[in-house]
Amino acid sequence: MLITFSKVINVLAPASLRQTRSIASLSALSDTYQMLYKTCRDFAEGELKPNAAKYDREHLYPGDAIKKMGELGDTVGCFALSEPGNGSDAGAASTTAKDGGDKWILNGTKCWITNGYESKGTVVFATTDKSLKHKGISAFIVPKPIKGLELGKKEDKLGIRGSSTCSLIFEDCEVPKENILGQPGLGFKIAMMTLDAGRIGIASQALGIAQILGGMGYVSDMPAERHYRDARITEIYEGTSEIQRLVIAGQLIKEYGLN
């Protein structure tokens, strides 16, 4: 999951710019999106696919490839929402951001953060007013490295081993006042809208991994074994399958007035 700042900025953009939800087929995309699709696909085929097994085997972050991807127009960031004990219940965030006059002071721990090691900055969700529960959560842009932010150990994962996953530990980490994203209290909405878009990406990741193989799918000389390990994460991050069912059921009940 390569969450970039542009992904978060995208959810702040007008709905007309967010065509993801209405895309039914490739041909329905505008020329610009088709070009973007082709660029991404060519990059994945030419730069990532040939080395994917090596990244997995050696637990390597594909730094050179990410650098080239960056030259296509983006910076790798990370998205720090989950916390120990409240991954599914994101509204229960216990990381705090205290108003310190001309700055915000962050305290708390975020866990399972993809690209925690390599990212140049992170969007962090922290509560600015606990009494408002999820409506008291705000989003902050935190550059990295920064005083008051420590990284936890790099997790040794079953799959998606070419990306780092770690905790972000904030201890009196000061960020400038203007680093709040949108308005105070808008953080939960920003997080959910980002996930709405991100979950389409995870679904396509899962679909792309799907294969039909016999014994050849069971040996590590073939990529299927890696795909099998990588597939498991698509049932966990950006909302577990159980949470997705709750979200879908909630939407259907709302739409059709079922009770």
Ligand X SMILES: Cc1cc2nc3c(=O)[nH]c(=O)nc-3n(C[C@H](O)[C@H](O)[C@H](O)COP(=O)(O)OP(=O)(O)OC[C@H]3O[C@@H](n4cnc5c(N)ncnc54)[C@H](O)[C@@H]3O)c2cc1C
Token pair of 44 as six digits = 């994945």
* Residues that contact ligand X, how many (by CB under 6 A): 23
> E-strand spans in 132-188?
137-143, 149-151, 165-176, 180-181
Token pair of 70 as six digits = 């960056």
Of 182 and 222, which CB lies nearer to ligand X in the complex structure?
Answer: 182
Is 238 a residue of the active site? yes
Looking at residue 207, its amino acid is: L
Instruction: For 22, list phi and psi in degrees, rounded to 5.
Output: -100, 5
Looking at residue 175, its amino acid is: V
Residue 76 interacts with ligand X (CB under 6 A): yes or no = no
Segment interacting with ligand X, rule: CB under 6 A, options 10-18, 33-41, 76-84, 137-145: 76-84
Residue 124 interacts with ligand X (CB under 6 A): yes or no = no
Residue from 112, 140, 170, 188 binding ligand X (CB under 6 A): 112
Token pair of 247 as six digits = 């979200």
Residue from 127, 165, 167, 234 binding ligand X (CB under 6 A): 165
Residue 179 interacts with ligand X (CB under 6 A): yes or no = no
Smallest separation, CB 217 to ligand X (Å): 22
Token pair of 253 as six digits = 């009940």
Instruction: For 141, list phi and psi in degrees, rounded to 5.
Output: -95, 120
Active site residues: 238
Give the binding site for ligand X (CB under 6 A).
1, 78-82, 87-88, 112-114, 157, 160, 165, 233, 236-240, 242-243, 246
